[in-house]
Structure 1
């Protein structure tokens, strides 16, 4: 699949590890990238975090699209000073550098793969009537033919005023 081949090329050009690039190239050959393929990349990512005073832990998977799961991690900044905005920004940059090098391009590829986006769009389209009804039932106003961004905006407004999570309706 061209998308994964392009992702592999970008990852390689940006200095990602050979292991991460190979996971993306394998996905290009099969047309599929799964959580199971990405999970082995977490070990080296966690080692990088540890080398920079952080701790990473696997925290199961999260669904990023219908039937599309992504490894979820928790990062703790255990041995880094976090007292100033500059120290916090520096820690975040270190974490992102480890992520990009070891696993970040694969994470992004799962989330933005055309098949994931298509599945999410189809799921959202099927749930739209229930989402619109929820928005209206909780005091929101939304047109039947509203764009996705307008639906999300209206659902966020309802959540902020009532606590109701309309985006999960349906």
Structure 2
């Protein structure tokens, strides 16, 4: 969000804007109230899912993976088809795109793309195994697993449970108040 919008809004004014982080790229509607210090805080008040927001093309699907999996996923990739979890992953992993689809064998496949040429994929297998593959400079799937585990531990919150803050120096999202977890948003 451009900080100039805050500078052009009177204290007490409200900014209502679409916002897209990571996740599946559908985005959220964000309502921010500007205070007299030049800071804006607010919540995600809905989805902006009519169509993918401009500049967020759908990733390309890969074909069947013939390499041996790196490991078994700690999270069932089928969980990533949950729109609430995908929405939250878009907030806590704002620069990671995640998509799911059913492959030619009938298994749900989840894929994740990072901005630094990282890529990960996991498959929900009916026998209970969830093979996972990772490519690139770090284990992107570990970030997805950690965020999904946090979501479960936090009681499966929805996007409206998060607070978005914009200052002249940074933007970040918090959960559970000032002492709760905080995620910086790339600007």
Structure with the bigger percentage of strand: 2
The TM-score, its normalising length taken from structure 2, stands at 0.23
Structure with the bigger percentage of helix: 1
Larger Rg: 1
The TM-score, its normalising length taken from structure 1, stands at 0.24
